[in-house]
Structure 1
């Protein structure tokens, strides 16, 4: 199972910050989460949302192993 973390606005939209999910890849995980919550699906699809796998930013899809940590990060703002 993967540990899934949502930060900032994403956790506000979903109503949770952390949960365990069974998924084989980031793409499958994103599809699973999107299928459960249309508002979260829209937020995850927005430009600038990044994904970190085991605390490293990844682009595109990646396989998940037992104990993987996946964090969805909203776009950053500030100065």
Structure 2
């Protein structure tokens, strides 16, 4: 790879100094699930996550999905730059 001037970009650190963690901001809700996420009924426990991906044009894109824990079904997704 070195002789062809190729480099790995999948594991490279971000070039910006952005960090999403800003400390304790806002309120903390009660832990009514007690870390038990194995729901039996649909729409009683849902969760979301955001993934950051580097696009072919060099910009960052974001993919977010909302998942129902009862059947592991994706309820909705959002993709944005």
Query: Normalized against structure 1, the TM-score is what?
Result: 0.22
Select the structure that is richer in helix.
1
Structure of greater relative contact order (alpha carbons < 8 Å, 6+ residues apart): 1
Select the structure that is richer in strand.
2
